Amino acid sequence: MTRGSGRRARRPARPIERGSRKPPPKAPSPSRPATAREPGSVGDRTGVFRLGVVPGTTPGTWISRWRERLPGVELQLVPVEAREAREILDARSADAVLARLPLQADGLHVIRLYDEVPVVVFDKASHLAAADELRAIDLEGQVRIVPADDVLPGLELPGTVAPSFPSLATTADAIETVAAGVGIVVVPQSLARLHHRRDTDYRPLADGPVSTVALAWIAEQTTPDVEAFVGIVRGRTARSSRA
């Protein structure tokens, strides 16, 4: 005690122990990591899904989503000529096909996906390049080349002239001939881009018929993988109960 302070120094109070026994630790709650999948979920499937694709179709975005959602199922692309889409399905050479309509649909499920505008392909020296878009009347007198793999069977251009040479087998052959300054060819825009050449150009045909791209598969062969791909092309999220 310090002289003259009048008070005694106090020691710090010691904590009061309420008992010697401690409560038992809580058992951890049964939970799974956030990344775990439920057994049998979409992402756990394995195998191969064969997708037929006709020229000009661009399934890149859908393929990326497929690989994210079903990493164990390999998606194989099967190149298909437009006129052979039904044959490929009947032969079971593909599980589903991105095809162009019209398509013989008996026994098939068909989902329309999008429409493509037709374009007129011509050589760059043509006066047709002066317009932003063309109409059938603008093509009067033009030599129209229709290849054997033409995908616009409903297109009629009565003012055009048939070529004096034999029919060409492919759209690529037709556009190569157009590049030489002979005639025009009318195709969906994606095919004009696919076969684009420096010496050709194209313009939309405003009053021409669209080309519809669709997903088709054998109705009796609607597998879980087909349903998953349908969900992707329809924009369903990964949490959807159907995909």
User: 70-102: per-residue pLDDT in tens?
Assistant: 999 999 999 999 999 999 999 999 999 999 999
CATH number of 118-209: 3.40.190.10
CA torsion 177→114→61→187, rounded to 10°?
0
Q: What is the pLDDT of residue 243?
A: 42
Largest CA distance in the chain: 131
116 strand-pairing partners: 211
Q: What is the pLDDT of residue 239?
A: 61
CA 145/CA 114 separation, integer angstroms: 26
CA distances from 82 to 53, 116, 129, 202, 222 (A): 8, 15, 29, 22, 22
Architecture of domain 43-115+212-233: 3-Layer(aba) Sandwich (3.40)
CA 75/CA 92 separation, integer angstroms: 15
Cβ(122)–Cβ(129) below 8 Å: yes
Domain boundaries, the chain: 43-115+212-233, 118-209
Q: What is the pLDDT of residue 238?
A: 59
Give the CA angle between residues 223, 229, 231 to the nearest 5°: 105
E-state strands within the chain: 47-53, 73-79, 96-100, 108-116, 118-123, 185-188, 200-204, 211-218
Q: What is the pLDDT of residue 45?
A: 78
186 strand-pairing partners: 120
How many Cβ atoms sit within 10 Å of the Cβ of residue 45? 16
Same-fold call for 43-115+212-233 versus 118-209 = yes
Burial label, 155 (beta-carbon count in 10 A; 0-12, 13-18, 19+): middle
Q: Are strands 118-123 and 108-116 parallel, antiparallel or unpaired?
A: unpaired
Helices 224-233 and 60-69, axial angle in degrees (round to 10): 130
Report residues of the chain scoring pLDDT below 70: 1-43, 237-243
